[in-house]
Amino acid sequence: MREILGRRRRLRFRRRDRAAAQLDAALVCATEWDWPVLPGAGLKAAGGRGDRPRGCACPDPDCVVPGAHPFDPGLLAASTDERMVRWWWGNRPDAPIVLATGGRAPCAVSLPAVAGARALAALDRTGLRTGPVVATPTRWSILVAPYTLEQLGELLYVKDCVPSSLRFHGEGGYLMLPPSGTGTGQVRWERAPLAGSAAPWLPDVEAVVDALVEASTSAPDGGSRLRY
């Protein structure tokens, strides 16, 4: 009996620590970096107490990105207001952190994890400075300076081929931020922003897109497979 009670206490402490980390991360993004955030849909529990979360908490039983998207509130509600952020995560402490990309906020380019590792290695070989990189078990996302759809269109127009596995998170888009948990696994920093710094430095999309296209094209599946 003591062993069961001890396990329950440890589980409560872990949940409390995770909730605190989630709120702290959301506050840093919103108040220190001026990145607009909002809580994601999150995951629902499988059944009884202690069961691991499974499936998306949104109404769609066939959700292809379980937990990893805005739901209520919608994306337009993203905010940098400290009181709003505290209220959201005070009510939903385990909610994933969603960054509303574009505008004055960072944009991102994401690609399958294997291609992402190749792309970062290629960028390192050229000596190009990279900013923060967000990783999940299936995809890596390189944060870049804000760009417009017109800029992106001109950049991609001159490419012979743009793999369909590349995804662009610009104006009206979003990206999950660490330490969120989603249906595909934990979201983490592959390359974290410098601790205690102001808003993280971001490269221009033009500086990284060539390496990303090349890495996706040379991936084992030819870069054509879209992975969430």
What three-state secondary structure class fits 11? helix
Q: Which is more confidently placed, 16 or 144?
A: 144
Say if CB 146 and CB 205 are below 8 A apart.
no
Mean pLDDT of the chain: 85
- Phi-psi map region of 135: left, alpha, beta (phi>0 left; psi -120 to 50 alpha): beta
**Model pTM?**
0.84
pLDDT confidence bin for 158, thresholds 50/70/90: confident
Q: What pLDDT score does 23 carry?
A: 96
pLDDT in tens, 160-177: 888 888 899 999 999 999
- Bridge partners of 79? 37
Percent of the chain beyond pLDDT 70? Answer: 82
pLDDT in tens, 20-51: 899 999 999 999 999 999 999 999 876 555 55
Is a pLDDT exceeding 60 seen at residue 11? no
Say if CB 99 and CB 177 are below 8 A apart.
yes
Say if CB 204 and CB 144 are below 8 A apart.
yes
Say if CB 138 and CB 112 are below 8 A apart.
yes
Say if CB 192 and CB 130 are below 8 A apart.
no
Say if CB 147 and CB 170 are below 8 A apart.
yes
Say if CB 98 and CB 69 are below 8 A apart.
yes
